[in-house]
Amino acid sequence: MAKAKDTEPRVHPKPQEVPAEEPRGIVLPEGKTIHTIVKYGAELLERPSKAVTKFDDELRQLCADMFISMYAASGVGLAAPQIGLPLRLSVIDTSVGKNPEAKIVIANPEITHMEGEQREEEGCLSVPGFRGNVLRPLFVTVRAQDAYGETFEMRGENLLARAFCHEIDHLNGVLFLQHLSMLKRDLIKRRIRKLRKAGEW
């Protein structure tokens, strides 16, 4: 999920035609990778992802890389399908890297409780430059596994509740665009089509 107040659309490298099994991006020293974020229009963003079954060092490295990639894009949440991996795995940090304790990994997450309502502007790293009002619950409890496979339950409110919903939506192939009014959604889709024609998407 994009940070609350993003003024300029982020510039990402163009999405390439590479199979989903090969994560793309810039490999940094120490073996860390900033992944390229897949943009709206890629088919895998709109299909459900598969359960995480192996909680090994490779998965933990992937989580570390997802945090790095999310911070590089100034996001507060990133789901594995957004870097081309159809896995039920997301990372969230509503402090955008300011508070190490705010880092959350949710693997195979389920929402167990929702309460209240909030309507705020929302954006997505896969739909850079576009935002819209989305109605979400004010409190959300999630049951998930961490990067070691340990099951935990966590309650979030406000932005964290919104991030839980947004990131879990990604794992089900749902984008925030689907929560907008039809008018607003069509407007954004039309603009993206134009950008794509111009080679700017």
Residues interacting with Zn ion, by CB under 5 A?
A: 1, 124
One-letter identity of residue 192: I
Give 1 or 89: the residue with its C-beta nearer to Zn ion.
1
Residue placing its CB nearer to Zn ion in the complex, 1 or 106 = 1
Least distance to Zn ion from the beta carbon of 40, Å?
A: 9
> Which is nearer to Zn ion, 28 or 191 (by Cβ)?
191
The vertex-141 CA angle with 74 and 114, nearest 5°, equals 105
Residue of 21, 115, 157, 167 marked active site: 167
Query: Nearest-CA neighbor of 124 among 183, 63, 65, 188?
Result: 188
Smallest gap from Cβ 176 to Zn ion, in A, equals 6
Residues 6+ apart with CB under 8 A from 1: 75, 76, 77, 92, 122, 123, 124, 125, 162, 163, 166, 167, 176
Is the Cβ of residue 59 or residue 92 nearer to Zn ion in the bound state? 92
Residue in this structure with the two tokens 């399908």, named with its chain if needed: 81
Cα within 13 Å of Cα(28), Cβ side: 11
Q: Is 167 a catalytic residue?
A: yes
Nearest-angstrom CA–CA distance, 166 and 168: 6
- The closest residue (CB) to Zn ion is 124
CB atoms within 10 A of CB 32: 15
Please list the active-site residues: 167
